[in-house]
A and B are shown apart, each in its own frame.
Chain A
Amino acid sequence: MILNILIVGILLYLTWALIHHRRDKSLTFTILLEYLLTALLSLILLMGVVF
C-alpha cells in the first residue's frame, strides 16, 4: 500500500518535471537526471525498510 502511494507520487513528480521543463524549454539531461535520481532515491529508501 505504502509502496503504491510512493510509486504514484513518483510518477506525478516525473510527469510534472517533464511537462514543466518542456514548456519552459529548460529540459536538459542534467535536470532530467536530477529528477530521476531523486525519484530513485525515494524508492530505494523505502525498499530498504520494507523488504
Chain B
Amino acid sequence: MVKKLKQSWYTNRVNWRNWFIPHKDTHKKAHLISWEAILIYVLFFILLQVGFSIISYTNPGVLGISANIDQKKLIELTNIEREKKGLSKVVENEALDKAAKLKAANMFSENYWAHFAPSGKTPWDFILGAGYRFTFAGENLAKNFYSSDEVVAAWMASPTHRDNLLNSNYKDIGIAVEEGVLNGQKTILIVQEFGTTDVLAGKPSVNVQGQQISVPAKDFASKPELVLVASKIVNTKSIDPYQISKVAGFSVIFLMVILLTLDIWVLKKRGVFRISSHHLAHMALLSLAVGSLLTGQPGVIL
C-alpha cells in the first residue's frame, strides 16, 4: 500500500513537472508550450472576446473605458499644435461647444460612430442647429482614448485630421467630451468642431475626413435650432475589457517565454537536441506581440 502510494506520488510529481519542463525520458516539450496548449490559449482569447460581446449586449454600460480627458486641455493642446505651425489660436465658442455636445448626444441616441448619422443628419445640422452661421467649418471625432494628449496625438498622426486641425481658416473651436453607451459599451466620445464666420471665397463648406463638402444654401435657411437634452448618467464603475485583454495577453506571453527559455536551458543541460526547438523564432514573434500590446490602444479617430 505504502509502496503504491509512493509510486503514485512519484508519477504525479513527474506529470506535474511535464507541464513546465521537457519530459524526462522522451524530451518532449512541456505541455504548456505544446501546440495543444497554444490552441487552448487561442480558444480562451476568442471566448474572452465573445464573452465581452455578450456582456455588452445583455448589460450595456457594464464594460467600457474610464478616462481622464479634459475639454480645456484639448483646446490648449490644439492651439499648441497650431502655434507650432505659425497659425493663429482658435478661440472657444459657446455655439460650437453646443454643436459638439449635440453631435455627441446624437451619436449615443442613434448608436453610431460616423460623421453622418444613419437618420441622415449631417455635421452642419448640429453646427447650424447650435446657431453658428459658418462660412467654413470642420469636424474631428475620437473615442476610447485614456488621456487628452493621446487624442490630439492621434489626430496629428492622421494626415486628414491634422490638415483639419491646422487649417488656417478656422477662428473658433468647440469641443465636447461626453460619456455614454455606444454599442453596449461605456464610451467617451470626443467631438471637435472648428469654424469661422469670416467671409471667404466660395460657398460655405464643411471639412470632414479630408473632404470639403459644400453646404446647400437651403440648409442655412431651413435648419431649426436644436435643444440640448441632459445626457443619461452612465455607470461610473465599468470594467475595462481592453485592460483585461492586455493583462491576460501579457500573462500568457510571459508564461510562454519563460517556458521556452526553460526548455532551451533544460535540453542544453541534458545535452539533447530537438529538431522542433527553434524557440528563438517563437520568442521573436512573441516579443513583437509584447511590443504591439504595449503600444496598442483602443482609441480610434474619425
Chain A contact residues, CB within 8 Å of chain B: 2-3, 5-6, 9-10, 13, 16-17, 20, 24, 26, 30-31, 33-35, 37-42, 44-51
B38 pairs with A34, CB closer than 8 A: yes
Is B298 interfacial (CB-CB < 8 Å)?
Answer: yes
A41 pairs with B42, CB closer than 8 A: yes
The interface stretch among B83-91, B212-220, B282-290 is B282-290
A44 pairs with B285, CB closer than 8 A: no
| Known pairs A13-B281, A37-B35, A46-B289 / 6 extra A-B pairs, C-beta < 8 Å | A6-B288, A9-B285, A34-B38, A38-B38, A45-B253, A49-B242
Using Cβ atoms and an 8 Å threshold, which residues of chain B touch A47? 49
Closest Cβ–Cβ distance, residue A43 to chain B (whole Å): 8
Using Cβ atoms and an 8 Å threshold, which residues of chain A touch B276? 26, 30-31, 34
* Nearest-neighbor residue (CB-CB) of A28 within chain B: B276
Task: Give the 9 A-B residue pairs with the shortest CB-CB distance, closest first.
Answer: A48-B245, A42-B289, A45-B249, A37-B38, A9-B288, A34-B35, A49-B296, A26-B275, A44-B45
Given contacts A13-B281, A24-B275, A34-B276, contact A46 B45 (CB under 8 A): no
Using Cβ atoms and an 8 Å threshold, which residues of chain B touch A30? 35, 276
* Nearest-neighbor residue (CB-CB) of B38 within chain A: A37
A41 pairs with B292, CB closer than 8 A: no
* Nearest-neighbor residue (CB-CB) of A44 within chain B: B45
- Cα A30 to Cα B285 with chains together (Å): 18
Most buried by A among B34, B249, B292: B292
- Cα A34 to Cα B288 with chains together (Å): 17
Interface of chain B: mostly helix, strand, loop or mixed: helix
| B242 in complex: contacting residue of A3, A26, A48, CB < 8 Å | A48
| A40 in complex: contacting residue of B42, B246, B275, B293, CB < 8 Å | B42
- Cα A48 to Cα B246 with chains together (Å): 8
* Nearest-neighbor residue (CB-CB) of A29 within chain B: B35
B296 pairs with A50, CB closer than 8 A: yes
Q: Could you pull out 10 A-B pairs where Cβ atoms are within 8 angstroms?
A: A3-B292, A6-B289, A30-B276, A38-B38, A41-B38, A41-B42, A44-B45, A44-B46, A48-B242, A49-B246
B285 pairs with A10, CB closer than 8 A: yes
- Cα A49 to Cα B246 with chains together (Å): 6
A42 pairs with B42, CB closer than 8 A: no
Using Cβ atoms and an 8 Å threshold, which residues of chain B touch A31? 276
* Nearest-neighbor residue (CB-CB) of A24 within chain B: B275
* Nearest-neighbor residue (CB-CB) of A6 within chain B: B292
B293 pairs with A38, CB closer than 8 A: no
- Cα A38 to Cα B108 with chains together (Å): 38
Using Cβ atoms and an 8 Å threshold, which residues of chain A touch B298? 49-51
* Nearest-neighbor residue (CB-CB) of A51 within chain B: B298
B285 pairs with A45, CB closer than 8 A: no
Closest Cβ–Cβ distance, residue A13 to chain B (whole Å): 5
Closest Cβ–Cβ distance, residue A32 to chain B (whole Å): 9
- Cα A9 to Cα B284 with chains together (Å): 9
Using Cβ atoms and an 8 Å threshold, which residues of chain A touch B286? 38, 42
